[in-house]
Structure 1
Amino acid sequence: MTDTYADLLACEDLLLFASAAISSTGQREFHSGAAEQRLSLEFLHEYVHGTHPDLYALALALHVNDHNAAAIVHRLLSNPRTGASAGERARENALIRRRLAEMPPQRVYRLFARLARERVNNRRTRATMRAWIAARPNLDLDAVKYRPGLRAAARHARVALPEEVGVFLFSPPGERRRHRYGSPLLRAHGRAHYSASDLYDLPYTVAEGFAARHRVPRGVFLEGVRERATRAERLRLAGTARRHGVGAGPDPAAAPLLRLCVYVLSLPTAERRDRRAELEGALAASALRAAGPAAGTWPRTAAVLDDSYSSIGSPVRRHHPLAAALACHHLIRALAPDSTSHWVSGHTDPLTVRPAGPTHLAERILDALDTGPARVVVVSDGHDSTPPLLADTLTLWRRYVDPDRATAMVHLNPVFDADGLGMRPLSPAVPTIGLRDPRTLPSLVELARFGEGRLGLSDLREHLRATADAYLEAP
């Protein structure tokens, strides 16, 4: 490695930004409020975009969460980089369009509405909006479900819309309702203003407003709209549906791993025990899907998982840190079938885990090392009850017990530390990387190599470009 000290600092800055963009959503956390989260995150975006503009866009290929992906796209469109080569500009455009295609449509429409409000009217922005809207599979559905966003984007980018969609979006209310639509969805929307029976032909989020308008009992509405709700909506409404005695619940096995873990943790402990076979089977199946071709390929791994009280998260991200730890438990078991898990509380039943007690990570990490693993994965927010003891223990272990690095250790942190402007580390001897969706665990472990100080900016730059190229070439 021939990087200078400045290069090593730049590498550290980029990893800090990547970690923050992966884990933070600008919402309230257990140890910091939403305002602090947003302020720190905004500073990191501004800093990296200003100091490393050639690498800023490449972060879109690093599994950054949708909140930060939208922020990156907004900054790239509203503050285009000067001096970029044609090849770099083409790659940026491809990354923007690929990431927008993968994001939830409501988030993309919010981004477009923001660009319209701020009058970001350059050719690149208009072309991005037109291309994304042209690729939408059902503009009738978007017109009903995301009407303000589609209207703002279409007006701002001067998008040529189908005639009926244009009438629905831009005509006065009276004319819009009198129009004879050929689209069944647009007709149902017009009839739902007057008839409660027609609201069940609409998407759940739209039908819910009409149900309140017509004062439809909640249980009756949930039973009628069940087939129109998405899988994620049915899972989120499972508790409400049970309270109203509405039919069979959602199929947990079909849910993504992190969402499934949030659902499991929302259940009372007694219900988890009663449904043990169903829930454990669903978790194992979801973890196997998340592992994909990498299932069973990891070496012997020990997981140290934080279930202390702070893992409860915040009211807006309830149980997210604990759900991330639970998801990592199941995913690591799929990746390394002979893995061991060590919960901070000493709990031995992952299905009934709950946030409680202090954080004594040093003891559990030593327990994990006693099993002789090739890799140790620690999932924690880094707020240990005795930070000096933990940091000294890991430093001494790395310096005197395992200087040859026979055992790799990585700390995955699901919580952005706004006050510290980064991810709260365990020790300088252990690289820390942000965690959002445990499905990205293998690539995060790969990225964490750059936090050990043995690889520098040139290696990271090469890794980012290779990752971006692979991301764009993936089907």
Structure 2
Amino acid sequence: MDTYADLIECEDVLLFANAAITSTGQREFHSAAGQQRLSLGFLHRYIHGNYPDLYAATLALDINDHNAAIVIATLLTHPGQGDGRLIARRLARMSPPRVYRLFQRLRHDGVNNRRTRALVRDWLAGRPDLAFDAVKYRAAVKSAVRHAHLRLPGELGDFLFAPSSRARYETPVLEAWRRAHYDKAALYELPYTVAEGFAARHGISRKVFLDRIAPKLTRLERLRLAESAGKDGLDTEADLAAMPLVRLASYVLALPAETRARRRAELVGALRSAAARVAGARAGTWGSVAAVLDDSFSSFGSPVKRRRPLAVALACHYLLEALAGSYRGLWLSGRTDPLQARPSGPTPLGQRVLDALGGRPDMLVIVSDGWDNAPPGLAGEVLRVWRRKLDPGGEVGIVHVNPVYDADQFDVRRLSPMVPTAGIRDAEDLPALVELARFAEGRTGLAELRAYLADRAAQLEAR
């Protein structure tokens, strides 16, 4: 049986998991970037200082890359802490720019123990095309090589540290970089971000450059360029359904309303295809599901995370539609067309929760930042009465997922202690978060949480 200390430990770790999933230290609707960073930094120090083994194990959860990098840097600063294999697996899941920034931070902080050098060496050795990295992230690769005391044989080492020492390179991407200094045609063999600088140096017009570089664009680059490229008459339509679900939702929400209406079939088809891909074998297995989806004004997020909370809600809408046997989505604004969602109005969560529970679904999922204000506190009271009086047996599963970290509370904002709340950043994590939320209900304890973390670590290692 869990002791009181065990319950506190379990609660603290779940609190940290919520923060590490949602917060990126950037400005949110209700808090500035400085507040976010200060609050998040305190949580990292507190959990690491009190529960170092569980702190390390959170790398197996779906915490975002920003917090994963902080956890890894903290563990490497303290020799002997953390599982090296889990750290390596988490590094492998992170984007290359994020990993290179982590290596630069370790160099800046003077963290250069044997384990750190081995991790840097092994990660670089595992890159599918280190020459490509050397061109695209030249300064970062150079910094990592120096920090790990590595010697790169042959022309790759020459390219990083003495690029003018060779008259030509055998590796195509390195030779293209050399020729691009004087040959305009060669720059189109380079990654877009590198070629863009050479195009500006050679005075190539934006339209001509985008026309010719289009085959080299990645899916994400195509999405980022879609609006600006359209102004230049360039068609950069990507395979939208292959995009991550929340990123695709953000792209859709950034389009003007008339564009969304004109491209309805294409956009809805892409969102549903992406959701079906995420749902996989779980499609249609969740029974009857109702969702309360927050499109209030605060779902705008902030200038640096524009419409991010609304994008999470839109992505969850299509994913829940795919997971459910029968589905009903209720937007706070009363809109019935999710494709035309936009941040507006107050947050009447209580009324919408009542509407959703009226149909007694098997599960109710609430996607909101938790700022219930029309009237304040109604949602919490509705959930309290429902759980204590109308459904004490918990026949209707209720989960609140919150995409916004509340810096003042060191957690995501909760609607009611009667309902578990989990932080969410990517809709792909929703099934795992619903599973994790059971720990917040108090029905399972520290031993089960440790077993869950160990199981997630084993799954990560098996990938």
Q: TM-score range by the shorter chain?
A: over 0.9
**Following TM superposition, by how much is the alpha carbon of 1:421 offset from its aligned partner in structure 2, in angstroms?**
1.1
Instruction: Give 2:156's aligned residue.
Output: 165
Larger displacement relative to structure 2 (440-449 or 116-125): 116-125
Confirm or deny: 8 A CA contact 2:293 2:331 kept in the other structure.
yes
Confirm or deny: 8 A CA contact 2:291 2:330 kept in the other structure.
yes
Counterpart selection for 1:343 from 323, 331, 334: 331
Instruction: Give 1:121's aligned residue.
Output: 112
RMSD (Å), alpha carbons: 1.3
Instruction: Give 1:413's aligned residue.
Output: 402
1:459 equivalent in alignment to 2:448 = yes
Instruction: Give 1:85's aligned residue.
Output: none
Confirm or deny: 8 A CA contact 2:22 2:425 kept in the other structure.
yes
Larger displacement relative to structure 2 (383-392 or 435-444): 383-392
Distance in 1 (alpha carbons) for counterparts of 2:178 and 2:34: 41
Q: How does 1:203-222 map to 2 (within 5 A)?
A: 203-222=191-210
Paired amino acid for 2:222: R
Instruction: Give 1:470's aligned residue.
Output: 459
Confirm or deny: 8 A CA contact 1:241 1:249 kept in the other structure.
no
Scaled by the length of structure 1, the TM-score of the pair is 0.95
Scaled by the length of structure 2, the TM-score of the pair is 0.97
Instruction: Give 2:420's aligned residue.
Output: 431
Confirm or deny: 8 A CA contact 1:361 1:390 kept in the other structure.
yes
Runs of 4+ in 1 over 3 A off after TM superposition: none
**Following TM superposition, by how much is the alpha carbon of 1:452 offset from its aligned partner in structure 2, in angstroms?**
0.9
Instruction: Give 2:126's aligned residue.
Output: 135
Distance in 1 (alpha carbons) for counterparts of 2:248 and 2:407: 27
Distance in 1 (alpha carbons) for counterparts of 2:31 and 2:79: 32
Alignment length, in residue pairs?
462
Instruction: Give 2:316's aligned residue.
Output: 328
Distance in 2 (alpha carbons) for counterparts of 1:364 and 1:169: 59
Counterpart selection for 2:391 from 382, 389, 402: 402
Instruction: Give 1:61's aligned residue.
Output: 60
Confirm or deny: 8 A CA contact 1:28 1:34 kept in the other structure.
yes
Instruction: Give 1:151's aligned residue.
Output: 142
Paired amino acid for 2:137: Y
Q: How does 1:442-457 map to 2 (within 5 A)?
A: 442-457=431-446
Counterpart selection for 2:270 from 282, 290, 295: 282
1:363 equivalent in alignment to 2:359 = no
Residues 166-212 of structure 1 deviation map (CA, whole Å, 9 limit, x = unaligned): 111111x6x25x53211111111112222333211110111111222
Distance in 1 (alpha carbons) for counterparts of 2:224 and 2:293: 25
**Following TM superposition, by how much is the alpha carbon of 1:213 offset from its aligned partner in structure 2, in angstroms?**
2.0
Distance in 2 (alpha carbons) for counterparts of 1:187 and 1:447: 50
Distance in 1 (alpha carbons) for counterparts of 2:449 and 2:181: 56
Paired amino acid for 1:99: R
Distance in 1 (alpha carbons) for counterparts of 2:209 and 2:301: 32
**Following TM superposition, by how much is the alpha carbon of 1:162 offset from its aligned partner in structure 2, in angstroms?**
3.3
Confirm or deny: 8 A CA contact 2:199 2:209 kept in the other structure.
yes
Instruction: Give 1:49's aligned residue.
Output: 48
Residues 409-430 of structure 1 deviation map (CA, whole Å, 9 limit, x = unaligned): 1110001111211111011111
**Following TM superposition, by how much is the alpha carbon of 1:247 offset from its aligned partner in structure 2, in angstroms?**
2.9
Counterpart selection for 2:245 from 240, 257, 264: 257
**Following TM superposition, by how much is the alpha carbon of 1:248 offset from its aligned partner in structure 2, in angstroms?**
4.7
**Following TM superposition, by how much is the alpha carbon of 1:134 offset from its aligned partner in structure 2, in angstroms?**
0.6
Paired amino acid for 2:361: P
The residue matched to 2:393 in structure 1 has which SS? Answer: coil
**Following TM superposition, by how much is the alpha carbon of 1:225 offset from its aligned partner in structure 2, in angstroms?**
1.0
Distance in 2 (alpha carbons) for counterparts of 1:365 and 1:159: 58
1:94 equivalent in alignment to 2:85 = yes
**Following TM superposition, by how much is the alpha carbon of 1:240 offset from its aligned partner in structure 2, in angstroms?**
1.0
Distance in 1 (alpha carbons) for counterparts of 2:415 and 2:201: 52
Residues 92-145 of structure 1 deviation map (CA, whole Å, 9 limit, x = unaligned): 111111111111111111111111121111110011011101111111101101
Percent identical: 57
**Following TM superposition, by how much is the alpha carbon of 1:160 offset from its aligned partner in structure 2, in angstroms?**
3.0
Paired amino acid for 2:305: R
1:244 equivalent in alignment to 2:244 = no
**Following TM superposition, by how much is the alpha carbon of 1:389 offset from its aligned partner in structure 2, in angstroms?**
2.2
Distance in 2 (alpha carbons) for counterparts of 1:462 and 1:369: 33
Instruction: List alignment gaps of at least 5 residues for structure 1.
Output: 83-88
1:317 equivalent in alignment to 2:305 = yes
Residues 260-296 of structure 1 deviation map (CA, whole Å, 9 limit, x = unaligned): 1010001001110111111111111000001111111
Q: 1:179 to 1:116 in 2, by over 3 A?
A: farther
